[in-house]
Structure 1
Amino acid sequence: MGFMTLNDEYHDNPKPGVAHRLSDGGDTRNGGHRTGLFDRALWFDGLHRHCLTAQAPHIAYAADGGDAVKLYLVDNGRAGMLAMANWYSFIWRPVFGGNPDAIAKRALLETAARKLAKDTHRVIVSPVPDEDGSASLIAETFAAKGWLVTRTPCDENHVLHVGGRSFAQYWASRPGQLRSTVKRKGAKGVVDLRIETTFNAASWADYEAIYARSWKPEEGNPDFLRWLAQREAEAGRLRMGIASIEGQAVAAQFWTVENATAYIHKLAHDERHLQASPGTLLTHALFAHAIDTDHVDLVDFGTGSDPYKRDWMEDVRPRYRLELLWPKAPLAWPYMARHRMAGLAARFGKD
């Protein structure tokens, strides 16, 4: 079983029989789970090149035969290593290649945990899902190799499991006020809607202008989003929704669809046209397209606890932050002391 740290290449791996399984266009499963946007090498490549350029990539890699794992991390200096992730990431998890079973996945991750102890004293990863067992696997495997593990909820993920329903069946279960709004505002015919599956520079410019006029904070990295939309369009996965009033774009949404999952990345509407509810009408149209045209099984609204998500989604899944400390490294001792103090404070606070 081998291990390597890659600091300069994302797509090319010198291990024969492994690279094609860990790069785009290779294996379609992540150790028994369908891979998606947030598992692909291209995602991490773009995220680092556009958003995380100040931190050197550190890709922990372990392989055994045709199975392999990569942990995409960035070096945060004396503070340790962090997940290669930011606010655009719906999830972060180990990326498995091949088709390892549970025992093989644990063995691969154990190798990574053992070797990471030579490279760093601290690793923090988030937002890690556990509906697929990722958070539990990381916590249990690293703990078994001697790491001190702290696992805490850090965010939540709103999703819709379609369950074979048509859009009409799904829509009938939505809150009455939401259905009434769509019926009333849609009947007026004021808002024109379109859904694009190819990248349109003019539509993207409309999205950026709308976002700037919306309630949203300043976009963290608009160049990354544009790059992502272009790449996803090339693969046929882009779903760009635009709502217009009298020819002027007033709401826009950026979705992608793959592996029977629709991801809602960004949405915004022009506050000056709030009375026409263009954002709500556009969301309605995109849900209808995703369910009846793309036939998705899942709609994923990403992270965040925004109240409006509850009107559209039915389930909430936790996301976790895992802090992994290597106790034999002196640089880890101050963090260990903080955890002990926090534990004592919590215990005495209950007394």
Structure 2
Amino acid sequence: MPVKCEYHDNFLTAQAAAAGALDREAQPCLFDRLDWLETLHRMALRERTPALLRGSEDSKECWMPMMTVGGGQLMALANWYNFSWRPIFNGADNEVQKLALLRAMAETAPNHARRITLSPLPDEDHSASLLQTAFEQSGWVVFRETCDQNHILNVRGRSFDAYWQDRPSRLKNTVKRKAKTGVVSIRVDREFDPESWRDYERIYARSWKPSEGSPEFLRQIAEREGASGALRLGLAYIDGEPVAAQYWTSENGTALIHKLAHDERHMQASPGTLLSAALFQHVIDVDHVDLIDFGTGNDAYKTEWMEEVRERYRLDMFWPNHPANWPHIAIRKLRAYRAAK
């Protein structure tokens, strides 16, 4: 049976077509779920029309959740809240099956777009490479580049104490010295609590961070993940006043660090560092996760806590039979030629 390709411009028909294949029970990763995609679009990207491409064959299927950006262009339905974006598979057990689905989707894609931009793509699971191969084999001109970095910790069965032994001396000494004072008290909420969330928002507003792009989106995700048992909201207090907060989720062996902030007026007490240590200990010794993911961004402080870095990629793909793409293709090829000299 040939691969059947469908295009959905709304989440109602996509939900019916997915029939549970994009639900929490079927997709272990938060960013691969329809409820994440729908909430992200509704709360942060609603000016863009969804472009949800599905390829299916027998019990195998693949989704490419994208959105329109005008001028015959599509891009990944993602923003800075995503640690990654990738094609979402269900029932495809090997790369041969995945490539067949992607190739069929690439062949039908010119009916919907002349240019497709996808990021931030991982490649530890070969997502970027499979997409590049499928679209190139289908006649698209594909340009690939590194767009970001992702810091991670593979726990490898260690206890927190074993992990902590390998941290930099400066970090360990700071935690030991500041914890001794007893000034900072810490708790980790596993269920959503409105008062705790208000403390989180209060700390974020007092921090060095820029204003939140879509605070209501984050709250809705926190409520949902709290109901599922995946929320880990860490809060630090001094004399009952909230001074640091971190928003994590933890499920299926992976902990994701979504947000962290501290009140700079209390930096001397290092509440953010103490809170980080408490959350690392919680997800390692209580949740027994295999992986801790610090998201995108090459911030220097992440190297103190994490041990590996993964690349994130952007694919810019042009249908060569469309005249509007010719200048872009020529410029990119000239740039690549000059870089190779």
SS in 2 for 1:346: helix
Partner of residue 81, structure 2 = 88
- 1:262 corresponds to 2:252: no
How far apart are the structure 2 equivalents of 1:10 and 1:170?
Answer: 45
Shift of 1:21: 2.0
Query: Whole-Å Cα distance in 2 between the matches of residues 200 and 83 of structure 1?
Result: 32
Equivalent-residue separation in structure 2 for 1:336 and 1:319 (angstroms)? 22
For the 8 Å contact 2:7–2:51, the answer to whether it is kept is: yes
Q: CA deviation at 1:99?
A: 3.6
Cα deviation, 1:245-269, whole Å, max 9, x if unaligned, reads: 0000000000000110000000000
Q: Which residue of 2 aligns with 1:224?
A: 217
List aligned pairs for 1:276-287, cutoff 5 A: 276-287=269-280
Superposed CA offset, 1:289-345 (max 9, x none): 000000000000000011000000000000000001110122222211221332344
Q: Percent identity?
A: 48
User: Equivalent of 1:289, from 282, 288, 299?
Assistant: 282
TM-score for the superposition, normalised by structure 1:
0.94
Q: Is the 8 A contact 2:190 2:233 kept in 1?
A: yes
Q: What is aligned with 1:211? A: 204
Q: Report how far residue 200 of structure 1 moved.
A: 1.0
CA separation of 1:14 and 1:49: change in aligned 2, threshold 3 A: closer
Say if 1:259 and 1:185 are closer, same or farther in 2 by CA, change over 3 A: same
Q: Deviations over 1:222-241 (max 9, x none)?
A: 11111111111111100000
Once the two structures are superposed, what CA deviation does each residue of 1:28-65 show, in whole Å capped at 9, x if it has no partner?
Answer: 4xxxxxx3101111110111001111110000101000
The one-letter amino acid paired with 2:108 is K
Name 2:124's counterpart in structure 1: 131
Query: C-alpha displacement at 1:221, in angstroms?
Result: 1.0
Q: Which residue of 1 aligns with 2:319?
A: 326
Runs of 4 or more above 6 Å deviation: none
Q: How many Å separate the matches in 2 of 1:100 and 1:170?
A: 34
> Contact between 2:92 and 2:98, CA under 8 Å: does it hold in 1?
no
What is the deviation of 1:13?
Answer: 4.7
| Whole-Å separation in 1 of the counterparts to 2:4 and 2:168 | 53
Counterpart for residue 136 of structure 2:
143
CA contact (8 A) 1:238 1:255 kept: yes
Any idea what the Cα deviations from partners look like across 1:173-201, whole Å, max 9, x if unmatched? 10001000000000100000000001111
Aligned residue number for residue 22 of structure 2: 22
State the alpha-carbon separation in 1 of the partners of residues 220 and 331 from structure 2: 40
For the 8 Å contact 2:67–2:75, the answer to whether it is kept is: yes
AA matched with 1:259: N
- Across the aligned residues of Structure 1 and Structure 2, the Cα RMSD in angstroms comes to 1.3
Q: Is the 8 A contact 1:147 1:327 kept in 2?
A: yes
Where does residue 178 of structure 1 map in the other structure? 171
The letter for the 2-side match of 1:62 is G
Letter in 1 for 2:61: A
Whether 2:149 is the aligned partner of 1:156: answer yes
Q: Is the 8 A contact 1:11 1:19 kept in 2?
A: no
- Output the amino acid matched with 1:163: R
1:2 aligns with 2:4: yes
Q: Is the 8 A contact 2:8 2:14 kept in 1?
A: no
Q: Which amino acid is 1:123 matched to?
A: I
Q: Which deviates more, 331-340 or 271-280?
A: 331-340
Residues in 2 aligned to 1:335 and 1:86: alpha-carbon distance in whole angstroms: 24
Secondary structure at the counterpart of residue 11 of structure 2:
coil
More off after superposition, 2-11 vs 220-229: 2-11
Q: 2:72 & 2:81 partners in 1: Cα distance?
A: 22
1:107 and 2:100 aligned: yes
Q: Which amino acid aligns with 1:144?
A: Q
**Residue aligned with 2:152, SS:** strand
TM-score by length of structure 2 reads 0.96
**Would the aligned equivalents of 1:21 and 1:98 in 2 still touch at CA under 8 Å?**
no
Structure 2 CA distance, aligned partners of 1:205 and 1:13?
Answer: 33
Unaligned runs of 5+ in 2: none
Give the distance between the partners of 1:65 and 1:280, measured in 2 at CA: 50
1:77-96 Cα distance to aligned partner (Å, 9 max, x none): 11610100100100000001
Alignment match, 2:308: 315
Letter of the 1:183 partner, please give it.
Answer: K
